[in-house]
């Protein structure tokens, strides 16, 4: 063989070796080819998705495990400036269940521009959202086959951990901006089937947000899905059916509105402001922000009603209780119901060694909640692990000693939640409740059921001490449930 032939063979061998992809690169290359090719994908500047579908009601359904409550989503439009890292979603959502704000459709506008996440209210007012929410929205840009593969094709992106799972090729991706994803592609079609990213949820801890893709169609030389289904942990939170999608169309100005862009970053929940109002001897309303608590003094211990929202609020309320009566131990917390805004402080209460009292249907959820991993944003319980002490109420529990009596009743049949407890103070003729009657609210859809429960137990009430809004006379509830004049 002549020398030139050897050289040609050697060159071919080197080129072949260079061209051989690693398994993770092969997965990405397959996906890119299936979607329309690397060059076509990298040439895309904008994507507009329009359609409709549904949103779930994460953490706010009637029972912890339920997923029956949904919002119908219409006029959905998601515009993405792929290169600039900007996106905006506009949609109208209409509740398919009894909603505390009423049944009317709600227009929603929310977006992300770099690190700035924002919401635009119906009156046009833009507000910056917390950094954690903004991070989720940054990740959400890449919860689409086109954007995640495009991001993975960036030379600064890192691919790792190639594997197969359920007949799919799977690879982990760290994008150039440091976000982490897992991409799965169908072993036959090579089209992306799902993207997963991890985030922190106050109640659930480390959760996977998974968007799956189906029903691909041809769009301007690309293959794009027309059904996108998103799950947060085990709960479906969105399904979008795409009616129209436009590649490199006019997306308009996706920059964050000035009011949001100029606002300071929001690192976490706002500082807690706990105000104190003595409602009766041994009973204090701990308010100050949107979610309230009630402190109850017994002869040898204290009981809190509600540790809401998150660690910040819950720990502040617990501290205020200890400050008000430093010589008595705070031993237990009554939880009004499982909704995330009312149970977000349960883990903090457990970390303080408190016994949780909750309606029986909450038990499996809280048992799981205290064991879940919170590694992304370690909370009070992750830093100070304690076992759950839980007492459950089927229908009625009595907290009683020689100085104080509190009856806890299950509010049965409420369309708001199956896990609601109300607290009745027979001597003081006070009722404490959450969500089912917010004094002063424009609509009170759960008040008639509350009244049924009050009558069922023959409660004699002078004042409503709500866990939202301000203390009101019982007559306000009576008026709220009275038949409205049609004249």
Partner 1 sequence: MRALLVSLLLVAVVHAQKRPEIRVSPARVKAGDPVILTGTGFTPNRSVMSHLRRPDASEYNPLRLRTDERGEFSHKIDTVMMDAGTFELWAEDEASKAVSNRTLFRVE
> Minimal distance in Å, beta carbon 361 to partner 1?
11
Interacting positions 185-204 with partner 1 (CB under 8 A)? none
Binding residue (CB under 8 A) for partner 1 from 89, 183, 357, 431: 357
38 binds partner 1 (CB under 8 A): no
> Minimal distance in Å, beta carbon 296 to partner 1?
12
Shorter beta-carbon distance to partner 1: residue 28 or 399: 399
Shorter beta-carbon distance to partner 1: residue 336 or 438: 336
Which residues, other chains included, contact 87 with Cβ-Cβ below 8 Å and sequence gap of 6+?
A: 78, 79, 80, 81, 111, 112, 137, 140, 141, 254
Shorter beta-carbon distance to partner 1: residue 233 or 391: 391
Dihedral angle computed from the Cα positions of residues 33, 36, 41 and 47, in that order, rounded to the nearest 10 degrees: -140
Burial class (CB in 10 A: 0-12, 13-18, 19+), 151: buried
454 binds partner 1 (CB under 8 A): no
> Minimal distance in Å, beta carbon 331 to partner 1?
10
Shorter beta-carbon distance to partner 1: residue 438 or 453: 453
Shorter beta-carbon distance to partner 1: residue 215 or 395: 395
Binding residue (CB under 8 A) for partner 1 from 354, 363, 381, 467: 363
> Minimal distance in Å, beta carbon 381 to partner 1?
16
> Minimal distance in Å, beta carbon 357 to partner 1?
7
> Minimal distance in Å, beta carbon 203 to partner 1?
19
Would you say 58 and 79 are in contact if contact means Cβ atoms under 8 Å apart?
no
For the residues of 327-386, what is the DSSP string, one character each? TS-EEEEE-----HHHHTTHHHHHHTTPEEEEEGGGHHHHHHHTTS---SS--HHHHS--
* Binding residue count for partner 1, defined by CB under 8 A: 19
Shorter beta-carbon distance to partner 1: residue 45 or 457: 457
Tally: H helices and E strands in the chain = 13, 26
Interacting positions 383-442 with partner 1 (CB under 8 A)? 388-400, 407
Spatial separation of the C-alpha atoms in residues 317 and 264, rounded to whole Å:
27
Q: Spell 243-257 as b/e; 16+ CB within 10 A means b.
A: eebebeeebeebbbb
367 binds partner 1 (CB under 8 A): yes
Interacting positions 273-332 with partner 1 (CB under 8 A)? 332
Binding residue (CB under 8 A) for partner 1 from 360, 448, 451, 476: 360
Q: Are strands 389-393 and 396-400 parallel, antiparallel or unpaired?
A: unpaired
Residue of 376, 364, 465 whose CA lies nearest to 419: 364
Helix (H) or strand (E) holding 389: strand 389-393
Query: Which part of the chain contacts partner 1 (CB under 8 A), choosing from 236-244, 316-324, 356-364, 434-442?
Result: 356-364
Shorter beta-carbon distance to partner 1: residue 253 or 395: 395
Which residues, other chains included, contact 298 with Cβ-Cβ below 8 Å and sequence gap of 6+?
A: 282, 328, 399, 401, 403, 404
Spatial separation of the C-alpha atoms in residues 430 and 462, rounded to whole Å:
6
> Minimal distance in Å, beta carbon 404 to partner 1?
12
Shorter beta-carbon distance to partner 1: residue 96 or 405: 405
CA dihedral over 443, 335, 70, 206, signed as positive or negative: positive
Shorter beta-carbon distance to partner 1: residue 152 or 358: 358
Would you say 98 and 415 are in contact if contact means Cβ atoms under 8 Å apart?
yes
Question: Site residues (CB under 8 A) for partner 1?
Answer: 332, 357, 360, 363, 367, 388-400, 407
């Amino acid at each position: 063989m002549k020398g030139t032939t050897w050289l040609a063979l050697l060159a071919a061998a080197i080129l072949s070796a260079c061209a051989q992809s690693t398994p993770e690169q092969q997965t990405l290359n397959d996906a890119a080819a299936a979607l329309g090719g690397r060059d076509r994908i990298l040439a895309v500047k904008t994507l507009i998705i329009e359609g409709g579908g549904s949103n779930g009601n994460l953490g706010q359904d009637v029972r912890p495990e339920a997923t029956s409550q949904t919002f119908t989503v219409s006029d959905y439009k998601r515009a993405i400036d792929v290169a600039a890292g900007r996106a905006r979603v506009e949609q109208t959502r209409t509740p398919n269940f009894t909603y505390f704000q009423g049944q009317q459709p709600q227009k929603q506008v929310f977006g992300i521009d770099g690190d700035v996440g924002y919401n635009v209210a119906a009156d046009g007012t833009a507000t910056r959202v917390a950094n954690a929410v903004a991070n989720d929205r940054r990740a959400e840009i890449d919860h689409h086959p086109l954007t995640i593969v495009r991001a993975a094709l960036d030379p600064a992106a890192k691919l790792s951990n190639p594997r197969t799972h359920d007949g799919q090729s799977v690879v982990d991706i760290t994008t150039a901006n440091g976000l982490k994803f897992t991409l799965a592609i169908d072993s036959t079609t090579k089209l992306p089937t799902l993207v997963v990213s991890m985030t922190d949820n106050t109640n659930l801890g480390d959760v996977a947000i998974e968007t799956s893709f189906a029903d691909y169609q041809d769009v301007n030389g690309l293959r794009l899905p027309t059904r996108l289904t998103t799950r947060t942990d085990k709960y479906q939170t969105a399904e979008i059916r795409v009616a129209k999608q436009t590649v490199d169309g006019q997306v308009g100005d996706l920059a964050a509105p000035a009011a949001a862009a100029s606002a300071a970053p929001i690192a976490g929940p706002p500082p807690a402001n706990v105000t104190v109002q003595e409602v009766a001897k041994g009973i204090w309303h701990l308010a100050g922000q949107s979610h309230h608590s009630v402190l109850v003094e017994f002869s040898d211990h204290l009981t809190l009603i509600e540790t809401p929202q998150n660690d910040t609020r819950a720990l502040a309320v617990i501290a205020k209780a200890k400050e008000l009566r430093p010589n008595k131990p705070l031993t237990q917390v009554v939880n009004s119901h499982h909704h995330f805004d009312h149970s977000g402080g349960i883990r903090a209460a457990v970390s303080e060694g408190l016994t949780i009292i909750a309606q029986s249907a909450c038990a499996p959820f809280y048992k799981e909640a205290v064991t879940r991993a919170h590694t992304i944003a370690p909370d009070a319980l992750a830093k100070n692990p304690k076992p759950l002490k839980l007492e459950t109420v089927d229908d009625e529990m009595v907290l009683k000693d020689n100085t104080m009596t509190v009856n806890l009743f299950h509010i049965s049949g409420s369309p708001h939640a199956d896990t609601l407890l109300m607290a009745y103070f027979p001597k003081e003729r006070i009722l404490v409740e959450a969500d089912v009657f917010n004094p002063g609210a424009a609509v009170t859809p759960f008040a008639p059921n509350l009244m049924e429960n009050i009558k069922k137990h023959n409660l004699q009430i002078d004042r409503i001490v709500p866990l939202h809004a301000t203390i009101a006379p019982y007559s306000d509830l009576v008026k709220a449930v009275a038949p409205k004049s049609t004249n």
